[in-house]
A and B are shown apart, each in its own frame.
Chain A
């Protein structure tokens, strides 16, 4: 009978039940029990592992106070010395996913196996896929029950220091490593089987998945800024007050453009941010924080730039799949080219 593993769970302020965006500045705290969503994780772990502590941090705290947050997590893990660290699931959350992956990285540096879970399109995967074990989930936190099973199973395996099999067998996202091993059939036979399946239109699984790297060649520098027309774009979801065009709060299917030629600055009360990914109260008080029209007008008057483009482009970037974002970006870029724009500033939240 294997002894019960000691696990530490990491959650953010929301999944700890402390609060939403308003509590995103919560500093790192440790509670010696499963908290919030951790209770369901504890059930999924069953008799194999016990959550001896939950480390909690607000998403903004983890992002803004990076050094302090990392040190606090590291110290907590050193003191607790668990057999395994489990972070999340973060689903498609940006900051939370990054924090979860970072917590796993910190655990790894302390020699503690760790695993997290999030949607394959989440920013945390983009940044940490090679360093950290990530179990794929759907984009929605409503799928928590389905996400916990694979996460708990992998956590127990890691905590027991059992050897890890390939990604598709164990249920984690491929990290891009190749391990030598034996397969049931020789290579030439497998290749011919694959070719046969491909020619017959049957599904087949490539042994080496081809993921084209995203390399965007950088545009050459602007030669004469004082002569150039500069455009402003934001993914912060800025809209005229009342959101007259019905911009969604996330998952952008289209972008919006607003005439700004007559405006000296963006005034509170006339604009608001409609975006479910961040706490928008400060932008509502000063919309120039995400669409810096006021500053650009000053720089235009001072002759630093030739002119500010008369259209400002906005959309809500949160939860927008990369493929959609690419298409929308290409559309906006085409419009800017038609408008003789020389350079563009994109403010992202």
Chain B
């Protein structure tokens, strides 16, 4: 689940919660300008896909801001 209200999301039973930006713009940030907004959106999505490939034992938060530059890449 990608959500800006990640505290709440973690209590709902979702095992993999990815931190989104804000309720009104979960997968991006228009304040960053088009280029950085796009980059940020891709980072969130890459983090989310990385979460799908990660084993978890309970509700786990994946924060795009803390992940390394290339969480998922084509081989």
Number of interface residues of A (CB under 8 A): 50
* Residues in A lying within 8 Å of B, measured CB to CB: 60, 63-64, 94-95, 98, 123, 126-127, 214-216, 218-223, 225-226, 228, 230, 236, 278-283, 285-286, 288-290, 292, 294-296, 298-299, 302-305, 343, 345-349
Contacts of B26 in A (CB 8 A): 236, 289-290, 347-349
Cα distance, A222 to B46, chains bound together (Å) = 14
B36 at the interface (CB under 8 A from A): no
Q: How large, as a class, is the contact surface on chain B?
A: 35 or more
Q: Is the CB of B8 within 8 A of A94?
A: yes
B23 at the interface (CB under 8 A from A): yes
User: What are some 15 contacts across the A-B interface (CB < 8 A)?
Assistant: A216-B13, A216-B15, A223-B53, A225-B49, A230-B52, A280-B24, A283-B25, A289-B27, A290-B26, A290-B27, A292-B27, A294-B41, A295-B44, A304-B74, A347-B2
Contacts of B73 in A (CB 8 A): 304
Q: Is the CB of B2 within 8 A of A218?
A: no
Cα distance, A53 to B19, chains bound together (Å) = 35
- Residues 1 to 37 of chain B near chain A (Cβ within 8 Å): 1-5, 7-9, 11-16, 20, 22-28, 30
Q: A220-B55, A345-B2 are in contact. Are A299 and B42 (CB under 8 A)?
A: yes
Q: A279-B24, A347-B27 are in contact. Are A126 and B74 (CB under 8 A)?
A: no
B68 at the interface (CB under 8 A from A): no
Select from chain B the residue with minimum beta-carbon distance to A305.
Answer: B49
A-B CB proximity, top 6 nearest: A218-B15, A303-B74, A216-B13, A343-B52, A348-B3, A289-B25
Contacts of A289 in B (CB 8 A): 24-28, 41
Q: A123-B8, A215-B13, A295-B41 are in contact. Are A304 and B72 (CB under 8 A)?
A: yes
CB-CB contacts of B40-75 with A at 8 A, as 1s and 0s? 011011101100111111100000000000001111
Q: A216-B15, A218-B56, A288-B27 are in contact. Are A60 and B8 (CB under 8 A)?
A: no
Q: Is the CB of B28 within 8 A of A286?
A: yes
Contacts of A223 in B (CB 8 A): 53
Select from chain A the residue with minimum beta-carbon distance to B73.
Answer: A304
Helix, strand, loop or mixed for chain A's interface? mixed
Which of A214, A343, A347 counts the most chain B CB atoms within 10 A?
Answer: A347
Q: A60-B23, A343-B52 are in contact. Are A94 and B28 (CB under 8 A)?
A: no
Q: Is the CB of B20 within 8 A of A127?
A: no
Chain A nearest CB: distance from B27 CB in Å?
A: 4
Chain A nearest CB: distance from B46 CB in Å?
A: 7
Q: Is the CB of B14 within 8 A of A216?
A: yes
Q: Is the CB of B53 within 8 A of A288?
A: no
Cα distance, A127 to B20, chains bound together (Å) = 19
Q: A214-B13, A349-B23 are in contact. Are A225 and B52 (CB under 8 A)?
A: yes
Contacts of A226 in B (CB 8 A): 74-75
Select from chain B the residue with minimum beta-carbon distance to A277.
Answer: B23
Cα distance, A328 to B8, chains bound together (Å) = 20
Chain B nearest CB: distance from A266 CB in Å?
A: 11
Q: Is the CB of B28 within 8 A of A126?
A: no
Which of B2, B24, B30, B44 counts the most chain A CB atoms within 10 A?
Answer: B24
Contacts of B24 in A (CB 8 A): 60, 278-283, 289, 349
